[in-house]
């Protein structure tokens, strides 16, 4: 995904005002309290979605007006969100205190009010990679249930099979195995979660699983200083592929998985996460180049 429609002057203004705000002191930290929160290019839902932030993510608030907040996410991306989707966690930034944190490793996970899946509907359903605080030293209620403290101060219970420790860096083989679990999920413009990815959001997530914090959009990803160019004949699993009408007009990305195949979130033919063949005419025409972490 490459946001070529985002106005250059607006981007420059955003960067300038962010710098001014930061110069006046560190921005207040808030936590996202929606499962997936759309970030817009301007403070209205009529604007284009530029990215997303998932539940419990800590974000910096750069500016507020009229029920909206301009935030900065951990990957240094900015956008406007509805202010009521953010909360100041009691006790300081969520996930940074004394409580152990765990991460959702299923595609989705329900959080319940009690240790039962039948008595009440889930309190909420959070996506893959959501990081949650265990509620103190006695959070493990049974082999099946873990009690978590939510960013708004409430507690809930999550099934142990849905979570694990915050993942260490995965190998390329492990990353490809993980990537295949997302097959069939819908393509969503601006998407960064298992609720729906766009191409660069999906590739960024896969690289994050390998331990790399890569830029959000396809164009900056292709220019990332941690990458080195790779010839098509020398491709290896884990290499990142870039597509577009020209090297300076990158509009799509995916991860090579071997045997001429790559996995990507695409709108081509079927809008979903899918595996495609790099040697098909459609992709051969658009292929611009490949990159590998140095």
Q: What is the pLDDT of residue 21?
A: 43
Do 176 and 288 lie in a common domain? yes
pLDDT number for residue 26:
84
Last residue of a domain, one of 36, 63, 87: 87
Distance CA 278, CA 260 (A): 6
In a domain, 76, yes or no: yes
Of residues 130 and 12, more confidently modeled: 130
Q: Is residue 93 part of a domain?
A: no
116 and 69 share a domain?
A: no
Q: pLDDT category, 61, cuts 50, 70, 90?
A: very high
Domain-located, residue 181? yes
User: Among residues 154, 197, 173, 185, which one has the least CA distance to residue 36?
Assistant: 197
Boundaries of domain holding 51: 8-87
Give the C-alpha separation, 129 to 184, whole Å: 18
Q: Residue 92 falls within a domain, yes or no?
A: no
Q: Note whether 122 and 218 are same-domain residues.
A: no
106 and 177 part of one domain = no
Backbone angles phi and psi of 163, in degrees to 5: -130, 170
- pLDDT at residue 10 tops 90: no
Q: Is the dihedral of CA 150, 153, 159, 161 positive or negative?
A: positive
Q: Which of 87, 112, 135 is the C-terminal boundary of a domain?
A: 87
- What's the predicted TM-score (pTM) here? 0.89
Residues linked to residue 110 through DSSP beta bridges, in sequence order: 125
Q: Are 77 and 70 in contact (CB under 8 A)?
A: no
Residue 94 forms part of a structural domain: no
The last residue of one of the domains, among 87, 120, 140, is 87
Same domain, 285 and 176: yes
The token pair that represents 30 in the structure block: 């808030």
CATH number of the domain that residue 114 is part of: 2.30.30.40
Q: What is the pLDDT of residue 79?
A: 98
* pLDDT for residue 238 is more than 60: yes
More reliable by pLDDT, 45 or 21: 45
- The H or E element containing residue 12 is helix 8-23
pLDDT greater than 60 at residue 3: no
Is position 42 within any domain? Answer: yes
Using one digit for the tens of pLDDT, what is the confidence trace for 138-177?
Answer: 999 999 999 999 999 999 999 999 999 987 899 999 999 9
Together in a domain, 126 and 46: no
Burial class (CB within 10 angstroms; exposed 0-12, middle 13-18, buried 19+) of 111: buried
Residue 96 domain-assigned? no
Q: Does residue 287 share a domain with residue 183?
A: yes
Q: Does a structural domain hold residue 95?
A: no
Asked if residue 120 and residue 46 are part of one domain, the reply reads no
Do residues 248 and 217 both lie within one domain? yes
> How many domains does the chain contain in total?
3
């Amino acid at each position: 995904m490459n946001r070529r429609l985002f106005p250059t002057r607006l981007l420059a203004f955003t960067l300038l005002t962010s710098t001014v705000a930061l110069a006046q002191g560190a921005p207040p930290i808030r936590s996202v309290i929606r499962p997936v929160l759309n970030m817009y290019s301007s403070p209205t839902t009529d604007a284009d979605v530029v990215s997303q932030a998932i539940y419990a993510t800590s974000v910096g608030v750069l500016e507020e007006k009229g029920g909206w907040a301009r935030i900065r996410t951990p990957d240094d991306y900015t956008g406007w969100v509805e202010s009521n989707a953010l909360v100041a966690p009691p006790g300081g930034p969520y996930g940074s205190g004394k409580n152990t944190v765990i991460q959702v490793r299923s595609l989705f996970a329900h959080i319940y009010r009690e240790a039962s899946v039948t008595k009440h509907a889930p309190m909420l359903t959070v996506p893959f990679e959501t990081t949650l605080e265990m509620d103190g030293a006695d959070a493990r209620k049974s082999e099946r249930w873990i009690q978590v403290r939510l960013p708004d101060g409430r507690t809930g219970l999550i099934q142990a099979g849905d979570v694990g420790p915050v993942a260490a860096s995965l190998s390329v083989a492990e990353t490809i195995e993980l990537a295949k679990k997302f097959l069939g999920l819908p393509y969503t413009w601006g998407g960064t979660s298992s609720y729906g990815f766009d191409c660069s959001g999906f590739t960024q997530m896969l690289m994050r699983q390998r331990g790399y914090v890569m830029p959000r959009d396809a164009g900056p990803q292709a220019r990332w200083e941690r990458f080195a160019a790779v010839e098509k004949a020398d491709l290896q699993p884990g290499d990142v592929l870039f597509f577009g009408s020209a090297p300076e007009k990158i509009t799509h990305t995916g991860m090579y998985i071997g045997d001429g195949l790559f996995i990507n979130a695409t709108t081509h033919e079927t809008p979903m996460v899918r595996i495609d063949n790099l040697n098909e005419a459609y992709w051969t025409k658009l292929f611009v180049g490949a990159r590998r972490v140095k």
